[in-house]
Structure formats: C-alpha cells, structure tokens
Amino acid sequence: MKKICALLPILVFLRFFSSCISLESLWPNVAGPIDNEASLLVVEAGIAGEGALFNSNASGWAPWVVDAQGEVVPFKTFDGEPRLDSFFYSENLESGKYTLKGFFHVYIDYSKLPAEVIALYAPFDDYSYHVKQEFPLDEPVEVNLGKGEVATLGRYFITYSWTEGLTGTTDQRWRVNPSSVIISGDKSDKKALRVAQNWRTPHWTLWNLRNSEAAADN
C-alpha cells in the first residue's frame, strides 16, 4: 500500500505533463520574447474557399517579407489551426519597417535531389534541390512594427496550379505555372491575431500580452 501511495504523485505528474505536451502540440511552437522590446509579426495566407496552402516537402509557400535593410525575414509555418489558413509568424524581431513584397513558392527539382536525401519543407534554407519562385504583390504592404508589439501584415489568398503536380513524372512537376498565379487579400485583416489570443502555451501567453486584439474565432 505504501508503494502505491508513493507512486500516486509520480503518476499524477506524468499525466499532467503528458497533457501539457498534448495541448502545446495544438498550437505553433514559438520562442518566448527575449526582452521587453521584442516584437512578433504574422501573415495569414490560404486558398480561397479551401483553407490552408499546400505546404509539403515537395511544394510549399512562404511570405516574402523584407526588413528596413532589405534583408529577407524568415518565417515559421503552422497549418494545424482549423480557424486559420496557413499561419506564418516570425518572433523576436526588432522594431522598424517591414514590407510584404509577395510570396515565395519553393519546390523540388528532382534532378538535383540526391538519392539518399529526404527532402524538407524549408523555404528559407538554401538546399541544392530547391527552386524558389517569387510572386510579387501588385502593391507591397508595409507595417511599422513597434517595440514590444504583435502585428500582422494581413490575410491573403493565392490561386495557382502546378506544372503537373502529384501525378507528374518530370523533375520539375511541382513547379507552379506563373501565369496561373493570382494573389488577393486584405492588409487590414487581423483575424490571425484574434485567433492567436486563444492560444495558452506559456510562450504564446507572453506574446499575447503584446497583442492588442481581443480573442475571437473569426
């Protein structure tokens, strides 16, 4: 009986710990703010009427954002929130001007993929087997990111078609046909910020203290 009683606190802890892991996996993995002035920037993008973009190791999208020096800002991607399309976010940014120039599409060129390599979705890494396509907006979108702020560049919809896609056999079957691409959106749409206010992991709780939007599902 004493052994059972001694085990109970451990079992309770393990159950609680596993529950926390399960809950945290429901939301994007984000690093906490590094200081009081650190900021976070998001972009929401999807396919009109269909939800998240198709982001895989063969074909994936990412926002094309540059900072005040013209350097590309890397974003993380989360496609698992049913209330959002693809959620792109970049944490611990300095304050200043950021510009959404458009979107990148990155796909595999199978002629460049070594036989022993497993391809990755990594639109901001320079893998030898990736080809990057750039699709600019008609008008770039700018935001002046404040110190200690969470802000969005808006919500966008991308219409596109691949050269061949899943049923293709050529090395560049996942290449997007440039003439098929149509990008529309609303730079003032803050739905992503309202949904993010619902996330309750320790790090998102800290970021949401800097998020001025009220929690909502739409």
Per-residue pLDDT of the chain (218 residues; tens, 9 = 90+): 443 444 434 333 334 333 343 455 688 999 999 999 999 999 999 998 899 999 999 999 999 999 999 999 999 999 999 999 999 999 999 999 999 999 999 999 999 999 999 999 999 999 999 999 999 999 999 999 999 999 999 999 999 999 999 999 999 999 999 999 999 999 999 999 999 999 999 999 999 999 999 999 99
Domain carrying residue 51: 2-208
Residue 147 placed within a domain: yes
pLDDT value at position 26?
84
Structure tokens given for 129: 């087997």
- Confirm whether 213 is domain-assigned: no
Q: Per the structure block, which two tokens stand in for 143?
A: 């935001």
C-alpha 112/C-alpha 133 separation (Å) is 16
Residue 207's SS3 state is helix
What pLDDT, on a 0 to 100 scale, did the predictor assign at position 15? 42
- Which residue in this structure is represented by tokens 């949904």? 195
Domain count, the chain: 1
Residue 218 lies in a domain: no
Residue 134, token pair as written in the block? 């750039």
Tell me the C-alpha to C-alpha distance, in Å, between residue 114 and each of 13, 51, 55, 122, 127.
45, 33, 21, 17, 11
Please check whether residue 79 lies inside any domain of the structure: yes
Beta bridge partners of 108: 130
Identify whether 214 is part of a domain.
no
- 56: in domain: yes
Does residue 217 fall inside a structural domain? no
- Say if 55 falls within a structural domain: yes
- Residue 35: burial class (beta carbons within 10 Å; 0-12, 13-18, 19+): exposed
Torsion angles phi and psi, residue 19, rounded to 5: -65, -40
